[in-house]
Every structure is written in structure tokens, then in C-alpha cells.
Amino acid sequence: MTQSPAGSASAFHELRSSIEGRSEADIHAYVREREGGAGALLDLVFGEMPGAFLPERAGGRELSFQYEIVADGGPWFYFADVRGGACHCGRGTLPDPSVTMTMEIPVFLQVLTGTMAPVRAFLTRRIRVSGDMMAATKFESWFARP
């Protein structure tokens, strides 16, 4: 079974059920109440992304994605770098990313779990994107969801 970006399929579904239908304030509270807060949750998500990467969907493209996720205790900076048919992710910044995305943690989690469409988030300015807009629209499809 392919791992979801939020860990095992059961962890993904637990995350989805914990945020689905909740207000942004409730999602912020959920993140604060998790052991380790936003950093631990984001470390888990980005730690699992390489296992959910589907290289055949990327079609050999090589791109780097920088995330700035606003939550308690930060902005949190994470990256996903797709090179040579593999995806490498981690905490930190890249020197010259192909795409930079900035959003609040509730929006990130809603898009991750499929409870908010990325296009809707972009059109309502919930996600700010700079760089290669075409890559940004396709990136989500490069990963498996349970």
C-alpha cells in the first residue's frame, strides 16, 4: 500500500476527520493540542511525502517547491524537491525554488486531505503562489492519497 502524505492511511483519515468541517480557529486549536504542535505535525507530513510520490505522474519533471506555512510558533518553512524521479522533503528553505507557496496551516491541511480544492484556495487568495504556476497546479497530482 502506498503511504499517504500524512503517514499511514489510518493516520491520514484521522487527520481528515479531525479537521473536516471545522473552522480555521478550531483547526489551529487542533494543531496546538497535538503533541509537538505544528512543527511535529508538519515534520510528519513532509517526512511521509517521499513515500507517497508517484514519479510516473511527474513525467521526469524536476522542480522544487518551497512552502511557508503560518501557524502558532512560526512561519514554518518546508520544501519538496523533485529530482531524478525521486522526491526529497524537509524543514528549511531552498535557494531558488521553482514555486513558493504561502498559506495558513488550516488551508495546508485542508488541501492535503482533500477537504478544500487547491484551485479554490488559490482563487480565494488562501494560498499565495509565486514562480512556475503550471507546476503548482499539477504538483498535487504527483502524490497518492488513500
Classify residue 146 as exposed, middle or buried by CB count within 10 Å of its CB (0-12, 13-18, 19+).
middle
Maximum distance among all Cα pairs of the chain, rounded to whole angstroms = 40
User: Could you list the pLDDT tens digit for every one of the 146 residues in the chain?
Assistant: 334 444 467 777 888 999 999 999 999 999 999 999 999 999 989 998 898 899 999 999 999 999 999 998 789 999 999 999 999 999 999 999 999 999 999 999 999 988 998 888 988 999 999 999 888 888 888 988 76
CB atoms within 10 A of CB 127: 21
pTM above 0.85, yes or no: yes
pLDDT score of 4? 43
